[in-house]
Each structure stands twice: as structure tokens, then as C-alpha cells.
Amino acid sequence: MTAYGALFDHVLTRTDPERAHHTAFRAIRAARPVTGLRRTPGEPVHAMGLTFPNVLGLAAGFDKNAVGIDGLAALGFGHVEVGTVTGEAQPGNPQPRLFRLTEDRAIVNRMGFNNDGADVVAARLRRRSLALARGERGDRNHHRQPRALLGVNIGKSKVVPEDEAGRDYEKSARLLAPYADYLVVNVSSPNTPGLRNLQAVEKLEPILTSVQAIAALDDRRVPLLVKIAPDLSDEDVLAVADLALAIGLDGIIATNTTISREGLRMPATKVEEIGAGGLSGRPLTQRSCDVLRLLRGRVGPDLTLIGVGGITTVADAEARLAAGATLLQGYTAFVYEGPLWPRRIVKGVQP
């Protein structure tokens, strides 16, 4: 067992998960002057007209408000996806809303898109962009260290009716696209009422096409992806794949959390006590990989597919790449395995 593993199992598991998250995140941000001295590991990946420093990114959900992008990148992630950000600020669901299933190396969350809202996050990203520009102008050697790319994941505000979702996504895209390397439309969280209904292609298409138009900035076009749930039927997965090809989407992220509770080691009574929410981590491994393989078989070799869900080991990462992933993301394994996990995965999948 690693030192972090011992700390997690014997100390952090006795701490409220949401409180532990905020404490760990503060430590990551504070450590950046030291961790940032290390070079980003791995070989670059070219996708969507961008160059990612390596294959592994941090999935949305860890840094909801874009407050620690560079501290997270310093741990070895090649890209950091912030959010989910909604058009309107919202507190999320009542606490407790984050739960560990340690026997399964899994997490259940029903956070409910708690975030500061698109206006505040956009202002924060603008300040970061200006600070980075000043730093690069003052550092002649900045080009020698590849910069982790920034994804921005946007979702529907809870107070916005389903039939007005497009307007809400448009607001977020308009505010956030100028600072993003890529955008993600999230229609697959189980924690916002009615959100998953938007995965139906007849509802999804107008949202994606309107956000696409906004992401075509004056000086560049921001790539756009959609993030889907593992709980879609195979038929619906293929329908999303066909839509992505038809409208020229840049990629698909597979997958978000699941509402399934099948095959868990935790006793059913404890699972029932936890209640509703999206399950992430090891129990998701097989279905996420199957969805990814299904997508790749449908879309062909060129569309960018980002594999996420239950990637814990180097073998998991290699299996997802073999199934057709262009890039990988992690979240739950980062929580369970600790700050050295990103570099360990990236080094392990090196050719």
C-alpha cells in the first residue's frame, strides 16, 4: 500500500467526503509552486486541431469553479476539464451529497451542479488568461513546457425549464468559449431533473448546433463535444454517434456516472441508505469501455472519443485506448489513488 493509500484508508475515510475534497484541493493549489517545477509527462496527442501534452485529463466535477486549473495540471494531467458550469449560479443539492463506496473503489454523488455560474467563472478564466499571457511574455522559455489544455463543461441550470435549455446552454457557451480550448455539453448527469431527457437526439441536436455556432469565434473555432451516460441503450448510443457525424461534432465523451447499482460489494442496505446519485469508479469500467467500443465502431477512426469511467490502473487505461479512445480522463481513481496517480498512468501507457 502506498503512503497515500494508508492516509486515505485510515484518515480520509473518517472525514466527510465533501470536506475532505475541499481540504485536498486547497493543498493541491498551495503545492503548485513545487509541483509546477516538474515537467508534464508523456507524449503529445493531436486531436480536434489541438495538441494535448499527454493522453490523460482530469474529468469535470473536481474543479467545478475553475479555481485550481494550474495546480491540477502540475500533477501531470495533460488537460483539465472544469465544471459543470451552468448559466445561473446554484448551490446544488442539500448535503450530504457525496459518498464513498470504499469496498467498490467508487463514489456516489448527487451534487446537483453546484457552481458559481457562468458569469463568475468566465471572469475568473479571463483573469487567468491575462495572467498566463503576462507570464509567457516575461518568460522566454515558456514554450519549452507544454501547457495543459482547458476544457469547459457546461450544463443546464436547475431553474431553467427543459424547453428553454438551449437558451441556457447558449448563455454559458457565449461567456466561456473565449477562454476554453474545448467545450463540452453535458446532458448526462442524473442529478438535475430532466437533464438526461436532453440526450434524445431530437432535443439534443438544436442544443448542439446552437452552441456550435457560438463556439465559432472570430479568431478561432472552439471544438465541441457531448458527454453521454452509460445508461443509454446501445441503440441510443448509436443514435448520438450518428448525430455527431451528421452535424460535424468534434467528439464524444463516454461516459458520465451511472444510476445502476448492480454488482456492488457494499451491502445493499448501505447502498439504499446512500440513496440517489451518480455512481463513478471501478463498477463503471466495463460498461464505459463497451460504450466507447460501440461508438468507435460507428463513427470510424477520425472522431475524437474521450474515455472516462472506471479507469484506475495502467491496464484499464490501455484497454480503453485499445477500445478506441483518443484521450482518457479520470476522477474517482484520482481521489482513491492520490496525487501521484496521473503521472503513474501516463508513464504506464507510454509506447
Q: pLDDT tens, 228-274? A: 999 999 999 999 999 999 999 999 999 999 999 999 999 999 999 99
Q: What is the pLDDT of residue 1?
A: 61
Q: pTM for this structure? A: 0.95
Q: pLDDT tens, 205-240? A: 999 999 999 999 888 999 999 999 999 999 999 999
Alpha-carbon dihedral angle through residues 148, 39, 317, 340, given to the nearest 10 degrees:
-110
112 marked ligand binding residue: yes
Measured between alpha carbons, how far is residue 16 from residues 29, 158, 266 in Å? Answer: 20, 25, 18
What are phi and psi for residue 217, nearest 5 degrees?
Answer: -75, 170
Contacts of 322 (CB under 8 A, 6+ apart): none
102 marked ligand binding residue: no
> From CA 248, how far away is CA 316, in angstroms rounded?
29
109 marked ligand binding residue: yes
62 marked ligand binding residue: yes
197 marked ligand binding residue: no
Q: What is residue 259's DSSP assignment?
A: -
- Which residues are annotated as catalytic? 189
227 marked ligand binding residue: yes
Could you give the percent of the chain with pLDDT greater than 90? 84
310 marked ligand binding residue: yes
The alpha carbons of the chain give a radius of gyration, in whole angstroms, of 19
| First CA to last CA distance, the chain | 27
SS3 254: strand
Q: pLDDT tens, 84-135? A: 999 999 999 999 999 999 999 999 999 999 999 999 999 999 999 999 988 8
153 marked ligand binding residue: yes
Q: What is the pLDDT of residue 325?
A: 98
> From CA 76, how far away is CA 266, in angstroms rounded?
32
Q: 319 near 293, Cβ under 8 Å?
A: no
Burial (Cβ within 10 Å: 0-12, 13-18, ≥19) of residue 341: buried
84 marked ligand binding residue: yes
Q: pLDDT tens, 50-91? A: 999 999 999 999 999 999 999 999 999 999 999 999 999 999
Q: What is the pLDDT of residue 194?
A: 82
Go through the chain and tell me how many residues it has. 351
Burial (Cβ within 10 Å: 0-12, 13-18, ≥19) of residue 300: exposed
Give the chain's domains with CATH numbers.
3-348 (3.20.20.70)
Mean pLDDT check: name the lowest of 26-30, 85-89, 136-140, 344-348: 136-140
Q: pLDDT tens, 168-191? A: 999 999 999 999 999 999 998 888
> From CA 204, how far away is CA 243, in angstroms rounded?
9
Nearest to 267, CA basis, from 123, 102, 155, 152: 102
257 marked ligand binding residue: yes
SS3 229: coil
H or E segment and range at residue 85: strand 79-86
331 marked ligand binding residue: yes
Cell numbers that stand for 224 in this block: 465541441
Cell numbers that stand for 314 in this block: 495502467
Mean per-residue pLDDT, 138-164: 83
